[in-house]
Structure 1
Amino acid sequence: MKGYVKFIDGLPLILKVILALPGLDGIFYGIYRIAKGRVIIGILWIILGFAILWIIDIITIILNGKVTVLT
């Protein structure tokens, strides 16, 4: 799973933003959170990420270059 975290962290900014769009965010960043050891948060992100939580990821990616909320 550490390989997945390194892969996502190594992506260019534009690809990180694309992966944070609704529908994709729950899957990619939900698994990202699970890989970082936040299992419950990752599962919640997979379920709720497509509805509202993707906005949080896009904002943190644009401001910080990576997902920083609840990771």
Structure 2
Amino acid sequence: MTATETPAATGSKSWIAALLLCFFVGSFGVHRFYVGKIGTGILMLVTFGGLGIWTLIDFIMIAIGKFSDKQGNALAR
């Protein structure tokens, strides 16, 4: 790491917990409630995860480490 690079802040929410929640109950937005994104969690609940498309996108984002919590912190690995 060079002097100009700063490490991304890591939140207190677990990466593996979010991934498992998304896989098993992602259509209900439970993983979004877990990371504190209540508004989009409710939208996912009402739309059944965007008919599965939104859930799939979130699953991929969590798996590759690009999903963040409400404060914008990376999930803890």
TM-score (norm 2): 0.49
Which residue of the partner structure matches residue 28 of structure 1? 30
5+ long unaligned stretches in structure 2: 1-10, 73-77
Identity %: 20
Q: 4+ residue runs of structure 1 moved beyond 4 angstroms?
A: none
What's the CA shift string for 1:35-65, capped at 9, x where partnerless?
Answer: xxxx2x3321112227312101111101125
Q: Which structure shows the higher helix fraction?
A: 1
- Alignment coverage as a number of residue pairs: 55
5+ long unaligned stretches in structure 1: 1-5
Q: Secondary structure at the match of 1:64?
A: coil
Higher relative contact order (CA 8 A, sep 6+): 2
Q: Which protein shows a greater Rg?
A: 2
Which residue of the partner structure matches residue 55 of structure 1? 56
Is the alpha carbon distance of 1:55 and 1:62 closer, same or farther for their aligned partners in structure 2, counting shifts above 3 Å? same
CA RMSD of aligned residues (A): 2.9
